[in-house]
Amino acid sequence: MAHQVGEATDNTAILVEGRRAEDDSREFAAEVARCRAELLAIAAMLAQDRDDADDLVQETVERAILARHRFTPGTNLRAWLKTILRHLFFDLRRRARFTVPLSGETRSRSVEEALGPLDLLTVEDAREAMQGLGPSSAEIMRLAHFEGLSYRDIAARLNIPINTAASRLFRARTQLRPMLEVVLESRLRAIGCRQ
């Protein structure tokens, strides 16, 4: 019987602790919700679009509630939420640079803006343009961009100092850029983005 009384006390303590945690969780969610208008103003300034700002705030609130255990009570909740919002915004922007939007999601942007101008160039375009470079410039471009070698590996392969490899690669890229711009301009005219 004493064993059952001890179990009942333990169960009661667990229930009380669970209710206290639920109350804390509700109180935290309410505090976060009170910051929503301020977060929306910041998100609108960052995103420059009302729908994107709403999505950004919603994601921020969700992340804050899920990461509630990381928040230190007694510290500045608004500052913590603004930090989450800012980091989320920059993470999304960074990811957007590396993805191609699906049709319908491009809004009124041009093909060039949706894809990025360099997405319109092919490997063959780069190889053709590299024929206009001198032999040493073409070689260093091939090693860096087609074989994916690091500066250190290029330097070892060509038996030159790393700084020399870096400066030669910089000069080769500088020479190649106008050649690729000509190809890009003709490609943009062909798809109607330039006249």
Higher model confidence: residue 137 or residue 2? 137
Q: What is the pLDDT of residues 76-106, one digit of tens each?
A: 888 889 888 888 888 887 776 544 444 444 4
Flag whether the pTM goes above 0.75.
Answer: no
Are 169 and 81 part of one and the same domain? no
Range of the domain at 141: 115-190
DSSP assignment, residue 117?
Answer: G
Q: What is the pLDDT of residues 161-195, one digit of tens each?
A: 989 998 998 998 888 888 888 877 776 666 555 55
Tell me how far apart the alpha carbons of residues 6 and 171 are, in angstroms, rounded to a whole number: 79
Kindly tell me if the per-residue pLDDT of 75 is higher than 90: no
Are 171 and 86 part of one and the same domain? no
Are 64 and 7 part of one and the same domain? yes
Are 24 and 87 part of one and the same domain? yes
Is 35 within the bounds of a domain?
A: yes
Q: What angle do CA 156, 158, 162 make, to 5 degrees?
A: 55
- Between the alpha carbon of residue 9 and those of residues 3, 13, 49, 90, the distances in Å are 10, 6, 55, 50
Residues 6+ apart with CB under 8 A from 128: 183
69, 99, 129 - which closes a domain = 99
Are 123 and 88 part of one and the same domain? no
Tell me how far apart the alpha carbons of residues 184 and 178 are, in angstroms, rounded to a whole number: 10
Look at the chain and report how many structural domains it folds into: 2
73, 99, 125 - which closes a domain = 99
CATH code: domain of residue 181: 1.10.10.10
